Amino acid sequence: MSTNPAYTRILLKLSGEALMGNDSYGINRATIEQMVREVKDVVDLGVQVAVVIGGGNIFRGVAPAAAGMDRATADYMGMLATVMNALALQDALKHIGVVSRVQSALTMQQVAEPYIRGKAMRYLEEGKVVIFAAGTGNPFFTTDTAAALRGMEIGANIVLKATKVDGVYTDDPKTNPDAERYQTITFDEAIAKNLKVMDATALTLCRDQKMPISVFSIFKAGALKRVVMGENEGTLVHV
């Protein structure tokens, strides 16, 4: 087996919910520590890693109070939650010796740099992990869309969507034990079958720009590294 990574620059999409572990909301410390170790294993291969992180774990704690709130206001609150997650991820990476930079699509100079494409690419070339926070900076767009957009902007080889499920299935594997995992599937098939890969905007963006997506479980030990090495892990969505 080759020891060379199949991808040299990746965009990792982490959902906020993945940071909860088994908690109902918030950040589970053991979970985030396990995640950053997986990231370090890939960085040590010489792979350039950028991360887009969601905020559902933080926002979930205030969701009841947000019921009936204006959508744009709620989305901005969600963007702030992603900044909190980005800072937590940066701190966890620092503790294991991985240098990272947080860039936010919303300006908040005391805690994060503004998103500047050229600086982000330079950081990646220097071997730093770049964490993109605050989504696209616009309401009505999800962090899935932000992942697709940032992946294209930085010239990533692939978008890796890290979830709690180890790929895309023909049905919900939690309720249907006979559901089968797709090893590969085309964008058109995923859209036609309404499979839960990413939101429709992100999926269409990746299809149009021929940006492959890999969906895998961040909770499987070594799964991220296996995806980066091009092994049969998760589901590859391609043109």
Output the average pLDDT for the chain.
Answer: 93
| Angstrom distance (rounded) from CA 206 to CA 188 | 11
**For 89-138, what is each residue's pLDDT tens digit?**
999 999 999 999 999 999 999 999 999 999 999 999 999 999 999 999 99
Calpha distance 112→87 (Å, rounded): 8
114 is in an annotated binding site: no
Annotated binding residue 104: no
Q: Is the pTM of this model over 0.75?
A: yes
To the question of whether residue 138 is assigned a binding role by annotation, the answer is yes
Was 137 annotated as part of a binding site?
yes
Q: Architecture of domain 9-238 in CATH? A: 3-Layer(aba) Sandwich (3.40)
Q: Any known ligand binding at 170?
A: no
